[in-house]
Amino acid sequence: MLRPLIATVAGKAARAATRLKGGGSALPGLVAERLDPRFLAHALEDVRGGIVVVSGTNGKTTTTKMLTAVLREHGLNVFSNPTGSNFTRGVISAMLPQLPISGRLSADVAVLELDEAHALRFADAVTPTHALLLNVARDQLDRFAEIDHTAKLLAQLAARTSEAVVLNRDDSFVSRIAGEPEVPPATYFGLDDSMRDRLEELQEADVRFDDEAQLPAVGPGDGLLRELNERDFEVTFGDQSQVGPLRLRQRGLAAMINATAAVTMARRLLGEGFDQAATERALRTVAPPFGRGEVIDCGGQPLELVLVKNPAGFTVALHTYGSTPVATMVAINDNYADGRDVSWLYDVSFASLVDRGVAVTSGVRAYDMALRLYYDDVATEHIEPNLIAALDHLLATHPDEPKRIFCTYTAMMALRRTLAERYDLADFGEEAKQAS
């Protein structure tokens, strides 16, 4: 028992030191893990209500936040990794402030957002009871190769899950995981059949079923999204029960399908304890996660930060946000966390930006982005690689208009940090802590 105690104390000390220096969120987890390789298994040993892993290419952070809110509204003590640091060390770092010196977490349920590859590392240490697998898409190809490889990672995670998996019915790669050896019973979420024509807003063609007859049959616990209008929707289950009408603070079909995934998993996890009214209350209160459709008041005008990281995600963002008349900035970096290869930008149609054009492109790939827009006949007013200078230009030249910034991960982090300093916003992860 001495090793977990030493690892916990050292991790807490590392966390205090990094917070003083403004350092990264994963270092305390690294310290604890190095001192005790079984740190995670020991910490989660007393979590009896379920260990849920949320994984997939797009929507992990939003879905995790929604599922956590729903379970908390049902009265459960839920641990989650709120900063979106979705590696195992990030999970440990998020856990350290809540751990007593014994190193054993006091929680009913753990809901963990994990990167596709690192979810398997987590499963080496701790067996998930439930896995919520959202989708596959081309994402940072220099890290995880093509869609087939990502799907195999998710299938391996499912096979190492002990009780149940919830899968995206409309994603051919994900839904077929149910037929893999050793995968526990599967429940599905997806679009209602009346909305099949909307799939192109959520998925690339190469992950959709060629023939709708190949779709899995709808089971009693499967949750299907039916949009009522631009802002409202309901989730109808195969047993004909419903949750809704639901309204989210985050707009768009992508947010609705993430909520559908969260509701379906919550119902599977809670069983007869699932409460429709509590679910509706919880989802109404969930603010957009840090930098993902987050709206910031900048001098009386809204500025919306929209994270983009792959063709499917950027396409969804443009469907959701791109047609509204705002001053637009696109900030593209190619750091490791963004993905080095930005050729994926040529798989995105920017036609929705043609009428208004783009006020400024920025980031390491500012000129590449302007060239990409040129090929889609989108005019770019200004090119400024320096992110903060570009932000200042956007604010100065469009002071009386709503503004939107589409940005890759490291660009979003840099911009959000500056905006937090200027407009007294919560720091990275702090908004989640305040809600817990």
- Any idea which residues carry the catalytic annotation? 341
The C-alpha atoms of residue 219 and residue 188 are separated, in whole angstroms, by 8
Nearest Cα to Cα of residue 410 among 291, 238, 237: 291
With beta carbons less than 8 A apart as the criterion, state whether 181 and 161 touch: no
N-to-C CA span, the chain: 29
Q: Which two tokens stand for residue 155?
A: 């299938």
Q: Which two tokens stand for residue 234?
A: 């309901």
Nearest Cα to Cα of residue 341 among 364, 370, 317, 358: 364
With beta carbons less than 8 A apart as the criterion, state whether 53 and 44 touch: no
Nearest Cα to Cα of residue 151 among 221, 55, 75, 69: 55
The C-alpha atoms of residue 315 and residue 184 are separated, in whole angstroms, by 33
| SS3 of residue 302 by DSSP | strand
Please spell the DSSP secondary structure of 250-293, one letter per residue.
S-SHHHHHHHHHHHHHHHHHHGGG--HHHHHHHHHH-PPPTTEE
Q: Which two tokens stand for residue 347?
A: 């798989």
Q: Which two tokens stand for residue 227?
A: 């949009």
The C-alpha atoms of residue 135 and residue 150 are separated, in whole angstroms, by 9
Residue 404 φ/ψ, nearest 5 degrees: -140, 140
Characterize 398-414 residue by residue with b for buried, 16 or more Cβ atoms within 10 angstroms of its Cβ, and e for exposed.
beeeebbbbbbbbbbbb
With beta carbons less than 8 A apart as the criterion, state whether 250 and 284 touch: no
Calculate the CA 259 to chain-centre distance. Answer: 11
Residue 287 φ/ψ, nearest 5 degrees: -80, 155
With beta carbons less than 8 A apart as the criterion, state whether 69 and 129 touch: no
Q: Which two tokens stand for residue 252?
A: 């768009």
Which residues does 284 contact at the CB level (< 8 Å), separation at least 6? Answer: 246, 247, 248, 249
